[in-house]
């Protein structure tokens, strides 16, 4: 894949510019859509292009480009290009940090230990930021749910699978990992039946999944309660949530680390199990039914 093609993915995270284009796109004229398509396909080239250059490359006029950026809410082409540069910087920051970290003269063991220490720091920060009332509200919401839908992708996918297995053991509700397989269309089919009394657990860490955010918004509009597990109040999931639990996802080399969010998931399952009145009997019944599968 060449450099320009690889940069086509840079606007897919939920940056301000990407969201503006997504919201406006269905109502754009054909000329504006050509410009939007070019920007999304070639963000790096657009960020360095003059208004004449973008008009030429997208087969539009300068006036059409000017109207396009105003439709997106920018006062000028310069303001639009600055927003595009900011979006690219956000998307490429993990790559730059990775390159900087690799350039440091650390041994593999030092890198290994630094990564573990960072995860310990993430866990400590997650614990320090917990609010007992918020935790109690999350647990009560899960226990009262009629159905539980789980939405996650990318680095958060294994966490969602873990929550699905854990909550299925200790909740009376049906538990559905809506994004377990298939594309967004399959997940939308699951969530189209969401309603009052249902709960959606949405999980995302940087770089945030646009699909997860959209599915969370869709399910909430259907009347479901929304619990979000994410890294910080600046996450696009945070303002949507009825209840939110935070855990940092920092990693010294990688774009994110799901370790602390995974710990939140484990703690949530543990707390739900503790509050279920017949939890001990349920676990005994499960252990007996699976006894033949254990390796002694």
Residues 256, 249 contacting (CB under 8 angstroms): yes
Q: According to the model, what pLDDT value does residue 279 have?
A: 61
Cis, bond preceding 151 (omega within 30 deg of 0): no
Query: How far apart are the C-alpha atoms of 86 and 258, rounded to whole Å?
Result: 25
Q: What percent of the chain has pLDDT over 90?
A: 47
Q: Is the pLDDT of residue 14 over 80?
A: no
Q: According to the model, what pLDDT value does residue 99 have?
A: 53
Q: According to the model, what pLDDT value does residue 26 have?
A: 83
Q: According to the model, what pLDDT value does residue 13 have?
A: 43
Q: According to the model, what pLDDT value does residue 3 have?
A: 31
Mean pLDDT of 32-42: 87
Q: Could you tell me which residues are beta bridge partners of residue 148?
A: 175, 199
Which of 38-52, 154-168, 250-264, 274-288 tops mean pLDDT?
A: 154-168
List pLDDT tens digits, range 50-95.
999 999 999 999 999 999 999 999 999 999 988 888 777 666 555 5
- Dihedral over Cα of 212, 217, 220, 226: its sign: positive
Among 93-97, 113-117, 127-131, 154-158, name the one with the lowest average pLDDT: 93-97
Residue 194: how many other CB atoms lie within 10 Å: 25
Q: Is 228 exposed, middle or buried (0-12, 13-18, 19+ CB in 10 A)?
A: buried
Which of 110, 117, 111, 95 has its CA nearest to residue 260?
117
Query: How far apart are the C-alpha atoms of 202 and 150, rounded to whole Å?
Result: 6
Q: Is the pLDDT of residue 9 over 80?
A: no
pLDDT-derived band at 178 (thresholds 50, 70, 90) equals: very high
Predicted structure pTM score: 0.65
Which of 155, 194, 159, 160 has its CA nearest to residue 177?
160
Q: Can you give the three-state secondary structure of the chain, one letter per residue? A: CCHHHHHHHHHCCCCHHHHHHHHHHHHCCHHHHHHHHHHHHCHHHHHCCCHHHHHHHCCCCHHHHHHHHHHCCCCCHHHHHHHHHHHHHHHHHHHHHHHHHHHCCCCHHHHHHHHHHHHHHHHHHHHHCCCHHHHHHHHHHHHHCCEEEEECCHHHHHHHHHHHHHHHHHCCCEEEECCCCCCHHHHHHHHCCCCCCCEEEEECCCCCCHHHHHHHHHHHHCCCEEEEEECCCCCCCHHHCCEEEECCCCCCCCCCCCHHHHHHHHHHHHHHHHHCCCHHHHHHHHHHHCHHHCCC
pLDDT-derived band at 128 (thresholds 50, 70, 90) equals: confident
Q: According to the model, what pLDDT value does residue 43 have?
A: 82
Q: Is the pLDDT of residue 103 over 60?
A: no
List pLDDT tens digits, range 208-236.
888 999 999 999 999 999 999 999 888 88
Among 118-132, 240-254, 274-288, name the one with the lowest average pLDDT: 274-288
Which of 231, 287, 221 has its CA nearest to residue 262?
231
Q: Which residues contact 218 (CB under 8 A, 6 or more apart)?
A: 188, 191
Q: According to the model, what pLDDT value does residue 295 have?
A: 56
Q: According to the model, what pLDDT value does residue 4 have?
A: 29
User: Which of 205 and 285 is assigned the larger pLDDT?
Assistant: 205
Sorted by where each starts, the structural domains of the chain and their CATH numbers stand as 3-95 (1.10.10.10), 131-291 (3.40.50.10490)
């Amino acid at each position: 894949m060449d450099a320009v093609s690889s940069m086509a993915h840079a606007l897919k995270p939920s940056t301000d510019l990407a969201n503006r284009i997504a919201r406006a796109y269905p109502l754009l004229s054909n000329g504006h859509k050509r410009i939007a398509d070019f920007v999304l396909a070639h963000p790096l080239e657009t960020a360095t292009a003059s208004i004449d250059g973008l008009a030429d490359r997208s087969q539009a006029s300068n006036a059409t480009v000017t109207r396009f950026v105003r439709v997106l809410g920018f006062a000028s082409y310069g303001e639009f290009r600055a927003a595009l540069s900011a979006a690219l910087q956000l998307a490429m920051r993990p790559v730059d940090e990775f390159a900087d970290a690799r350039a440091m003269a650390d041994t593999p063991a030092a890198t290994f230990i630094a990564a573990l220490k960072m995860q310990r720091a993430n866990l400590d920060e997650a614990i320090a930021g917990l609010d007992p009332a918020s935790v109690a509200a999350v647990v009560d919401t899960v226990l009262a749910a009629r159905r539980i839908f789980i939405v996650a992708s990318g680095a958060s996918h294994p966490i969602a699978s873990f929550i699905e297995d854990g909550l299925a053991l200790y909740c009376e509700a049906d538990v559905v990992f809506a994004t377990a397989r298939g594309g967004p269309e399959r997940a939308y089919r699951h969530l189209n039946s969401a309603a009052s009394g249902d709960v959606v657990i949405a999980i995302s860490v940087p770089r945030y999944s646009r699909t997860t955010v959209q599915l969370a918004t869709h399910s909430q509009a259907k009347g479901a309660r929304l619990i979000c597990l994410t890294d910080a109040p600046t996450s696009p999931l945070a303002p949507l949530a009825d209840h939110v639990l935070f855990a940092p996802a920092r990693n010294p080399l990688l774009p994110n680390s799901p370790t602390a969010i995974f710990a939140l998931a484990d703690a949530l399952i543990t707390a739900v199990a503790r509050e279920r009145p017949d939890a001990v009997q349920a676990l005994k019944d499960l252990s007996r039914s699976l006894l033949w599968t254990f390796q002694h």
